Chain A
Amino acid sequence: MNYNILIGGAAGQGVATTGKILESILKRKGYFVFTNKDYMSRVRGGHNFTQIRFGNDELYSHNSDLDIILAFNKETIINHSSRLKDNGIIICDYNIDTDNYTVNKLPLIETAKDVGNAKVFTSVAIGAILKAFDIEVNNTTNLLNKFFKDENLINLNYAALVRGYDMFKNVFTVSEPKLINKDTISINGNQAIALGALAGGVTFYSAYPMAPSTGIMKYLYSKSNSMNILVEQAEDEIAAINMAIGASYAGARSMTASSGGGFSLMVEGLGLAAITETPLVVVNVQRPGPATGLPTRTAQGDLGFVINSSQDDLPLMVISLKNHQDAFYQTIRALNLADKYQLLVIILSDQYLADSSSTIEKFNFDDIKIDRNIAKKNNCKYSDTYKRYEYTDDGISPRLIPGNHNNITVLADSHEHNEYGNIDESKKNRINMMDKRMNKIKLVKKDLIEPEYYGMNNPETLLVAWGSSEGSIKEALELLSKENVSIGALVFGDIWPLPIKKMIQYSNIAKTIISVEHNHSNQLAKLISQELQIKFTDNINKYDGRQFSGYELYKSIKEVL
């Protein structure tokens, strides 16, 4: 059993908050909930919606077919009623003009006024939705205090919930929730990255606000004083990355994030991190481009760019995030790998993951380790002959914190430099230093995680995808397995350097290989073809700024099979 609710309206009407409250109640009642947001790049007006899917099994993605539409305006009804299931219902206020649509008109605003404040009409609506599923509204006051500080507002909203519940009827049957008393969390991708950064010991974070990456900074900022870390809103993305590099050089674990446009501004800084061998983690929360593109929508269009985002060759690692767990654990792993190899690590997320939230198991903090690979204060074997870029067996030079060791100075340089960090243009030095840096690619290959495989053994058809497509891939495969289609999928998380073992293994088994990507030019498929000379039979692309739902993808796969 799973149901799908859409809440839609204009920006500023409370769509997002209503969604969060309903999501919170459903999760606390013991259901798996997956919520995704579709919003426009504007503060007022337009058309925004939140889709809340809940059920008794783990959910990996959104669904297109709707059971309930809660409409705050007429546009919501016009835009989405075609997606309503046969027994689906539309709920809206009495006063909304609904033409010929079949709608359950309720006195939402009038009741809210009667309770004491017209604004709580959204809670009246939530109450009505809960009644439709026969999910009781009791024990929800302790949830409301997450959203409202004022005691009076909490009581008003609770009263509104009860009134909404009492005014409507039961429509759908729900089974007993499975997660009662289970310790789960509901978190979105940006928050999971930020929490990973905190668990992973990030002490300095600098960024410039840019949708859809801003949520990371916002969450970290809200925790900065209690964690004794610093989050700085930079004057631009160039400053953001250069600040993070300066802090990392000086010994603080640092991170920055942006989206395509801001990431573009950071590119010279990526090279700076690489040539100065300063550990750095940069998150790119992808949105459709080029330039401003679609600011609040989703894409996987930056893979090709990110892997090649530098003048000349530099060592870097690129990790794409498949889901909310990844967002947490891979951020921590990225921070440790950055320090281990004094390496630039780029994390690729996207708007879909950033703004969707999922009910998942609590993160395990107990096994997390912070590995810095730096000598302790006044405890190192080096004298005044310390060389920041000393040649060593594996090419990783000893890293010291400037100021922490008497008589030792640390020189970092963006020019080609010698072991001391001084400018050196000689041929021999250049070759040695390039080899030293590029060797990190070899080193990091030992730490690579192969892509996850889903599906049956020996599949005739192999899907190849990456990042947040994982959710819809899993759901599409479930639907296809019911039809006994011989199919499986490799979903890449680590993406550069490219893990090749499973790709080679499955490409030898499958007769047809199909890439599934949220971009126009099959960027992962091109990369795999380039690295492994593997030919793809077909490509499924979606680049309209919206994520495949599992069912949509299922239909697209059927079309090409």
Chain B
Amino acid sequence: MATDIKLFNSNDENAWCPGCGNFGILNSLKKAFSELDLLPHQILISSGIGQAAKTPHYINVNGFNGLHGRSLPPALGAKIANKDLKILVTSGDGDTYGEGGNHFIHNIRRNLDITHLVHDNQIYGLTKGQGSPTTAKGQVTTMQLDGVRVDPFNPLATAITMGATFVARSFSGDVNHLAHLIQEGMKHEGYALIDILQPCVTFNKVNTFKWYKDRIYKLDENYDPTNKMEAYKKANEWGDEGIPIGILYRNEDATSFVDRIPHLRDGKPLVDREWKPLDAKKFMEDFR
């Protein structure tokens, strides 16, 4: 069973550069939703600001295109309000690892049941080419003409260290691989991070489609994603030695955020419940 993929098409005019890795990610999302037999109104995509963050405009699902760096907090609010929504976050490396770093760390602690796609092109696209948190040290950018001075952020190692329960990496050039990971992430009951390597055809002349293609390799069936120490090692493999893609770490035993709160877990979604002022009247006893 699959829903018609065309249901997810949006009428909005697309503002991405031709050849942008975002198109592959967009197609993977539609493919994953269709294959999971979902309908547009059952899904919410929350995003911040950046090129990746425009995704909710280019796909027909519920969308919340919020502030730069703040894609995660509205997703949390929405999931608590309506636990039946399938919620994803689509935002870039600057949005998630830079401006939104604090939310990234603390939502791992919550293990909120959402799927977080980070379109990681290792550069700031929308602001035209400055170094991002994942740009390599020494890389020359449109602003850092003498090279980036600081060490890059390692999102996957950070996530694993923080106790994230689903940590994966994919490549925007491989729609089937990414669509599969998105489905696995959405099936995972908890926070799923998918860092997606993605060329920026306009501003990143180092990490090109070919650069990624030459270095990525898929984790095979012998790899055990439940082994945290192995996952940590894989998260530290980078560059010419090869870049592993696939599910690096997965822990299906952890309790998701909603399930940690009995009345949320067992009851109807909050938005379907009714509150009456008189329900609170009894609390006046506290003040007699």
Report A's interface with B, CB cutoff 8 A: 183-187, 191, 195, 198-201, 203-204, 206, 223, 225, 227-230, 232, 234-236, 238-254, 268-269, 272, 276, 332, 362-363, 365-366, 368-370, 377, 401-415, 420-423
Contact = CB atoms under 8 A, between A and B. Distances in A.
A403 B85 contact: yes
Q: How large is the interface on B (under 10, 10 to 19, 20 to 34, 35 or more residues)?
A: 35 or more
Interface in B40-89: 40-42, 44, 46, 49, 54, 56-57, 60-67, 70, 72-82, 84-85
Given A362-B284, A411-B62, A403 B82 contact: yes
B49 A414 contact: yes
Contacts of A232: 76, 80
B270 A406 contact: no
A403 B84 contact: yes
A268 B67 contact: yes
Contacts of A401: 82, 271
Contact of B63 (A242, A370, A412): A412
Contacts of B39: 406-407
Contacts of B78: 246-247, 249-250, 402
Given A235-B105, A409-B61, 12 more contacts: A187-B287, A203-B273, A223-B283, A243-B73, A250-B79, A272-B66, A272-B70, A368-B277, A404-B271, A409-B40, A422-B57, A423-B57
B18 interface: no
B288 to A, nearest CB: 6
A206 B106 CA distance: 14
26 contacts: A195-B280, A195-B284, A198-B279, A198-B283, A200-B277, A203-B81, A228-B263, A230-B80, A235-B105, A235-B106, A242-B74, A243-B77, A247-B77, A250-B77, A250-B82, A253-B275, A269-B70, A276-B66, A363-B284, A365-B277, A403-B62, A407-B41, A408-B41, A409-B63, A410-B62, A412-B65
B264 interface: yes
Contacts of B46: 246
Contact of B85 (A250, A254, A423): A250
Contacts of A252: 77, 80-82, 270-271
B210 interface: no
A417 B75 CA distance: 20
B287 A191 contact: yes
B275 A201 contact: yes
B73 A242 contact: yes
A365 B81 contact: no
Given A245-B74, A272-B67, A410-B62, A185 B284 contact: yes
Interface in B230-288: 261-264, 267, 270-273, 275-281, 283-284, 286-288
B65 A413 contact: yes
Interface string B105-118: 11000000000000
A244 B102 CA distance: 17
A239 B283 contact: no
Contact of A249 (B74, B263, B267): B74
A251 B287 contact: no
A121 to B, nearest CB: 27
B256 to A, nearest CB: 14
B103 interface: yes
A256 B127 CA distance: 32
Nearest to A206: B77
- Interface pairs A-B: 9 shortest CB-CB: A246-B74, A246-B77, A247-B77, A242-B73, A252-B81, A250-B81, A368-B277, A250-B78, A198-B280
Contact of A370 (B56, B81, B106, B275): B275
B277 A201 contact: yes
A239 B102 contact: yes
B288 A185 contact: yes
B41 A204 contact: no
B90 to A, nearest CB: 14
B12 interface: yes
Contact of B80 (A183, A247, A377): A247
A246 B287 CA distance: 33
A503 B267 CA distance: 51
Contacts of B73: 234, 238-243, 246
A122 to B, nearest CB: 22
Contact of A186 (B57, B277, B287): B287
B103 A235 contact: yes
Nearest to B82: A250
Nearest to B103: A239
A204 B288 contact: no
A243 B74 contact: yes
A437 B62 CA distance: 22
A420 B288 CA distance: 51
Nearest to A223: B283
A385 to B, nearest CB: 11
A184 B283 CA distance: 13
A249 B279 CA distance: 24
Nearest to A28: B288
Contacts of B278: 365-366
A243 B287 contact: no
B70 A242 contact: yes
Contacts of B261: 230
Nearest to B75: A246
A268 B81 CA distance: 22
B284 A423 contact: no
Nearest to B61: A409
Contact of B270 (A230, A235, A240, A363): A230
B45 to A, nearest CB: 10
A306 to B, nearest CB: 19
A482 B30 CA distance: 77
B44 A403 contact: yes
Interface centre among B267, B271, B279 (most CB of A within 10 A): B271
Interface string B161-188: 0000000000000000000000000000
Interface centre among A198, A246, A332, A370 (most CB of B within 10 A): A246
Nearest to B285: A185
A245 B66 contact: yes
